[in-house]
């Protein structure tokens, strides 16, 4: 089964478009965990978040920078293994935004798919299709390519107008849909902070899965994101939320608070999709 079909199955079975981003920032961690060393704090925190949110999500998205900055790659390995073992139907998206060529890209693909066993990885497309190819050689895995990111500065390059009249991110969405996605392994990252751009990408790429970060702390709106980016079946969209769920409480009830926040967000998304909220 190709990545696109597997992803659709995860969304359907879980009746959820919600992805919880695992961005464990020690500075925001519950205070009662602080007597542990840094790696243990991150492991306990993330494992409880995973268990608390699993009923309400289609995907988890660990952000590797938060682990790399504190020497915690081995913790990320354990958490990825934990997710695959206990929640095999939930998609594991490694947020790494890698982008390199030839044998280096092969090593990054090995990192994502063999070391962390991710189902998909976020990639930066600036170096072109041959920088993506080593990832696509894993036939059952997927890649989410940065297209129109959620930050204000994303216009600097992604918003440049080409001589063919299209904006760069529009050209990219079209190229990915028409050329790069031959084996149904590609998706795109488009910020929920830009609903008009989400709608443009959906129009140019009717069948590409869209990963939309930026709901919650960054100010993206659920209703306009769903309206702009769901495909014709009410699928094809993964809405990521990190901080608003991870740090819903900084007390000993952090996991319960995260669980409630995940459920509320999942339900709010489903109401906009006109799905039963369970």
Distance CA 167, CA 180 (A): 18
- Minimum CB separation of residue 235 from a copy of itself in Å reads 27
Residues 107-126 that bind a copy of itself (CB under 8 A): 107-108, 110-111, 114-115, 124-126
Among 35, 85, 139, 153, binds a copy of itself (CB under 8 A): 153
Assess whether 78 carries a catalytic annotation: no
Distance CA 141, CA 110 (A): 12
Selecting among 61, 97, 141, 233, the annotated active-site residue is 97
DSSP 33: G
- Minimum CB separation of residue 199 from a copy of itself in Å reads 21
Residues 29-68 that bind a copy of itself (CB under 8 A): 63, 65-66, 68
Judged by CB under 8 A, does residue 1 bind a copy of itself? no
Residue 35 tokens read as 């007597």
Judged by CB under 8 A, does residue 182 bind a copy of itself? no
- Minimum CB separation of residue 154 from a copy of itself in Å reads 5
Cβ-in-10-Å burial (0-12, 13-18, 19+) of 120 comes to buried
Q: Which of 267, 172, 185 has its CA nearest to residue 1?
A: 185
DSSP 220: B
Among 15, 155, 250, 264, binds a copy of itself (CB under 8 A): 155
Contacts with 101 (C-beta within 8 Å, 6 or more apart), sequence order: 127, 130, 131
How many Å separate Cα 49 from the centre of its chain?
Answer: 16
Judged by CB under 8 A, does residue 81 bind a copy of itself? no
Q: Angle between the 254-273 and 222-229 helix axes, to the nearest 10 degrees?
A: 50
- Minimum CB separation of residue 30 from a copy of itself in Å reads 18
Count of residues that bind a copy of itself according to CB under 8 A: 54
Q: Which is nearer to a copy of itself, 8 or 197 (CB)?
A: 197
Active-site residues, by number, are: 97
């Amino acid at each position: 089964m190709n990545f696109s079909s597997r992803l659709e199955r995860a969304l359907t079975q879980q009746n959820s478009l919600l992805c919880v981003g695992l961005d464990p920032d020690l500075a925001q961690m519950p205070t009662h965990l602080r007597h542990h060393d840094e790696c243990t704090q991150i492991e306990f925190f993330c494992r409880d978040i995973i268990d608390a949110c699993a009923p309400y999500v289609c995907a988890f998205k660990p952000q590797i920078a938060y682990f790399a900055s504190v020497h915690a790659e081995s913790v990320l390995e354990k958490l990825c293994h934990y997710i695959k073992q206990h929640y095999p139907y939930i998609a594991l998206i490694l947020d790494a935004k890698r982008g390199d060529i030839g044998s280096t890209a092969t090593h990054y693909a090995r990192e994502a798919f063999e070391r962390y066993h991710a189902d998909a990885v976020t990639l930066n497309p600036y170096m072109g299709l041959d920088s993506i190819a080593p990832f696509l050689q894993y036939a059952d895995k997927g890649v989410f390519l940065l297209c129109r990111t959620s930050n204000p500065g994303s216009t600097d390059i992604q918003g440049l107008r080409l001589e063919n009249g299209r904006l760069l991110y529009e050209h990219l969405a079209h190229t990915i849909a028409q050329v790069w996605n031959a084996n149904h392994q590609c998706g795109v990252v488009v910020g929920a902070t830009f609903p008009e751009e989400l709608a443009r990408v959906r129009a140019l790429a009717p069948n590409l899965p869209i990963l939309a970060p930026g709901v919650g702390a960054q100010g993206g709106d659920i209703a306009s994101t769903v309206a702009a980016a769901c495909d014709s079946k009410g699928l094809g969209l993964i809405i990521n939320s990190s901080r608003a769920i991870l740090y819903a409480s900084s007390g000993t009830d952090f996991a319960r608070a995260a669980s409630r926040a995940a459920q509320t967000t999942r339900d709010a998304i489903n109401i906009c999709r006109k799905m039963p909220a369970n």
